[in-house]
Amino acid sequence: MQSRITIPAALLSAAIVASGASASSHREAPFITHAPKVDGSDFYMFRSYGNESDATVTLIANYLPLQDAYGGPNYFDLDTSAVYEIHIDNNGDAVEDITFQFAFDDVVQDLKVPVNGEMVSVPLKNIGAIGPQADGTSNVYVRQTYTVTRIAGERRSGNTSSVTNAANGSASFMKPLDNIGNKSITDYPAYAADHVYAVTIPGCASQGKVFAGQRKEGFAVNLGEVFDLVNTNPVGPRDAEANVIADKNVTSLALQIPIACLTSGSEPVIGAWTTASLPQARILNPSPTADAFIGGSTGKPATIQGGAFTQVSRLGMPLVNEVVIGLKDKDRFNASHPSGDGQFATYVTNPALPELLEALFGVTAPNVFPRNDLVQVFLTGVPGLTQPANVTASEMLRLNTSVAVTPTASQSNLGVLAGDNAGFPNGRRPGDDVVDIALRAAMGVLLGSNPDAGDNTLPYTDGAIVSATDFDEAFPYLKAPIAGSPN
């Protein structure tokens, strides 16, 4: 059972190494490189642990990856024309039953200072201290708020209702400013924590939580060497290399929801994925004049946007589009729906990564085709663990909500492969080393003693390690972001 669970992860991770991806799913498709604000990079789903109730599931969708902390003065606000969504399939039919949709807005106050008798707008995002509470924004030029909408049924035609602040009933939430530095935000962890909201979820008897804001990048990968034809030792020590994205930040959309509000009937397995969508049409004035600006003091070029939302980013299991899907189909995958995943089946049944590793390192790739071992976990879930009773083959991250939580100190970063059935690929926790798990699976762990299994006993690794101790034990789990100013 353990090896079978590990295989899909292995397929994904293996793909990562072969393709030279920058992270779990960063800049993985040609089009998304032009729209980094809607680039989904990592997706986590797990039964809450640590200081949180294990009767809840935590979902974290990361967007806008590879943020340099010093990237001001605009930093990393999200796209106000986009919708960011987390979809739940709770009956195995490859169609969303519940969607949580995030939408962001700018709040602008034209801060000015007197200069030679005139009031002049300032060039910085803030002109004084921010916080310490969420409403401490008097010195902020532009900030963001957001709404969360619950959609029952299909995401574009289902019944919509607002997720609201349990304290005051408001449907609007505040996104914290990014971590500019200690002079602007003295105690960033405390400031960000004041943006964690208890929420009332329509149709849910118990409260949940929501947070949207900048976090420290939690993914670990030996990126530079991976790009350079996997210029590392894939069978060396698991901690031999640096995690080269350890100095980056990311923006997280996090929800904590009672299990009973996500599952359906007696089926304990839920599937989930995240998407981002943009309006179909956008016309931008290439040389705007003063009269062609909208938003007053925001100074944004005039734009006309319309048409239905078009999906441009999709992420469920880690590494799929980055290293499993062929380059010619990466944009197609990002625009696709799980119900149509049959069109990508060849990439799973005949994966390229093991063959690349064999060519580069002289190891032996599995010689069993089609790779039905990967299909089971990758598209249907593992029987007895993550496979719904009435499953339609489709790619998404699946979680068996009936599997007990593993306490933080006892979690294995190799998940099911090491006997920790609460870990990847049964959902994904922040401390699960999906790259190492995936590499081992891709090279035949699931095939066991099959004579054509390949080098399935070698401890494959990218050399960059991650564990549960690298994260907080409370929602939203990912640590506070790195400050832009080190002083």
Q: What is the pLDDT of residues 269-319, one digit of tens each?
A: 999 999 999 999 877 766 555 444 444 444 555 667 778 999 999 999 988
Q: What is the mean pLDDT of the chain?
A: 88
Q: How confident is the model at residue 301, as a pLDDT?
A: 59
SS3 sequence, 208-251? EEEEEEEEECCCCCCHHHHHCCCCCCCCCCCCCCCCCCCCEEEE
Residue 294's pLDDT is what? 43
Amino acid 287: pLDDT: 58
Q: What is the CA radius of gyration of the chain?
A: 22
Number of H helices, E strands in the chain: 8, 18
Q: Of the given ranges (99-108, 245-254, 422-431, 445-454), which has the lowest mean pLDDT?
A: 445-454
pLDDT at 167 over 70: yes
pTM: 0.91
In a 3-state reduction of DSSP, which class is residue 462?
coil
Band (15; pLDDT cuts 50, 70, 90): very low
Angle between helices 353-361 and 434-442 (to 10 degrees): 80
Tens of pLDDT, residue by residue over 131-148, are: 999 999 999 999 999 999
pLDDT at 1: 33
Please state, for a pLDDT cut of 90, what percent of the chain lies above it.
Answer: 68
- Sign of torsion, CA 300 304 307 313? negative
> For the residues 351-369, what does the mean pLDDT come to?
90
For residue 255, the SS3 value is: strand
pLDDT at 8 over 50: no
